[in-house]
Structure 1
Amino acid sequence: MTTTMGELLGAAAEQAVPVLRGISDDRLDDPTPCAEYEVRALADHLLQVVINFQALAEKKPADFGSVPRFVDEDPAGWRDRFARETARLAEVWAAPGAEEGTAGQLGLPARTVGFMVLGDLTVHAWDLARATGQDFTPDPAVVAELAPALAAMAPMARENGVYGEPVEVGADATAFDHILAVTGRDPSWRPA
């Protein structure tokens, strides 16, 4: 039986929310494995993604054109907002019809769009955990479903500048290491 996107996103959120709650204010300017973002900007980006992909699940337009500033605009509440928004993300993707047809203005199959946000939620949670010295272990069911989906999307994502070139990993690499590598991340990345 195929795991629903709502279930997968709920499982990913359970792992991501503690990471974002664990980011202290003194780490917000630290670098991340996602080179174009420091911690603050990546947290803003991830929250924007979570909100916009709620709209896409509901077959509504999303706004990716603005640069969000959730962390600076609500320094005391952005972590709680992330928890609320990820819960809503899982809820809207669990709704009847969310995985059918195409999603929003992307014109892609809805389940593919669901995998896009699942990838961001999982990989960016790792980025933020690694940047801030936290542990992160993704849900095994998420990894099992995400690995083939991201591998299939990788060429288009690279062409659009979303993923970097794949990174080589050793024979002892985990399934999650392979996911990180296909997105252009070095699984052994640590802050300088």
Structure 2
Amino acid sequence: MSKDITELFEAAGHRAAAVLDGIDDSALDSPTPCAEYDVRGLVNHLLHVVVQFQALAAKEPSDFATTPDYVADEPDWRGRFAKETARLGEAWARPGALEGATGLMGMPATTVSRMALGDLVVHAWDLARATGRTYVPDPDVLADIAPVWAELVPGGRKMGAFGEPVDVPEGASPLDTLLALTGRDPRWRP
């Protein structure tokens, strides 16, 4: 890995925030590659994930059971997302954040941090694709999360968090490979 955890979160957060910053309110009801979410729902989900993964970095309880409507409740939800992603990176950079286990399942903190990074990458792609924007993830972030997600996704699929893998051609890009692993079709269009 060529970047430390702070740099990885900074890179992933900036690129995800750029996608959210470009979402026009008129696109909030548009479909996304996540069939269960429209753009508004996915923005709410991603912002909630970013907030809850801060708690996990601090070894505090998290609550993924309900998702607030950040878009309706926060007039500057785009700005809040940028601030929360910066806080997320800071949370995982604190001493001890990557040590031990965290969360209800007692997963290794290093694995949980990569779950957060992966959510930033995958959902930024989802939102970019849904709104006709371009998204290019940081290559170091992709290289860092790929092996962790390769291990996590099959278990997550059994729990209903991911769809069945999608076939991609041999030599597909690292992003397309990750998306396909999570059940997303890299060729998806609205």
What is aligned with 2:186? 187
In structure 2, C-alpha distance between the alignment counterparts of 1:177 and 1:11, rounded to whole Å: 19
What is aligned with 2:128? 129
In structure 1, C-alpha distance between the alignment counterparts of 2:5 and 2:38, rounded to whole Å: 29
3-state DSSP class of the match of 2:104?
A: helix
The answer to whether the 8 A contact 2:165-2:183 is kept is yes
1:39-75, Cα deviation, whole Å (9 max, x unpaired): 000000000000000000000001111121000112x
What is aligned with 1:59? 59
TM-score relative to the length of structure 2: 0.96
Instruction: Report the number of matched residues.
Output: 190
Amino acid at match of 2:11: A
How far 1:2 moved relative to its partner?
6.7
5+ residue gaps, structure 1, are none
- Is residue 2:113 matched to residue 1:106? no
The answer to whether the 8 A contact 1:5-1:111 is kept is no
The answer to whether the 8 A contact 1:23-1:132 is kept is yes
Matches within 5 A, 1:145-164: 145-164=144-163
3-state DSSP class of the match of 1:190?
A: coil
What is aligned with 1:37? 37
Percent identical among aligned pairs is 56
The answer to whether the 8 A contact 1:13-1:121 is kept is yes
1:78-111, Cα deviation, whole Å (9 max, x unpaired): 0000000000000110111110000133310001
In structure 1, C-alpha distance between the alignment counterparts of 2:178 and 2:9, rounded to whole Å: 16
In structure 2, C-alpha distance between the alignment counterparts of 1:113 and 1:2, rounded to whole Å: 20
In structure 2, C-alpha distance between the alignment counterparts of 1:20 and 1:180, rounded to whole Å: 19
TM-score relative to the length of structure 1: 0.95
3-state DSSP class of the match of 1:117?
A: helix
The answer to whether the 8 A contact 1:154-1:182 is kept is yes
What is aligned with 1:68? 68
The answer to whether the 8 A contact 2:32-2:127 is kept is yes
3-state DSSP class of the match of 1:105?
A: coil
How far 1:10 moved relative to its partner?
1.3
In structure 1, C-alpha distance between the alignment counterparts of 2:189 and 2:97, rounded to whole Å: 37
The answer to whether the 8 A contact 1:5-1:99 is kept is no
The answer to whether the 8 A contact 2:14-2:82 is kept is no
How far 1:7 moved relative to its partner?
2.3
- Structure 1 stretches of at least 4 aligned residues deviating more than 3 Å after TM superposition: 1-4
3-state DSSP class of the match of 2:117?
A: helix
In structure 1, C-alpha distance between the alignment counterparts of 2:3 and 2:101, rounded to whole Å: 19
How far 1:172 moved relative to its partner?
4.1
How far 1:154 moved relative to its partner?
1.4
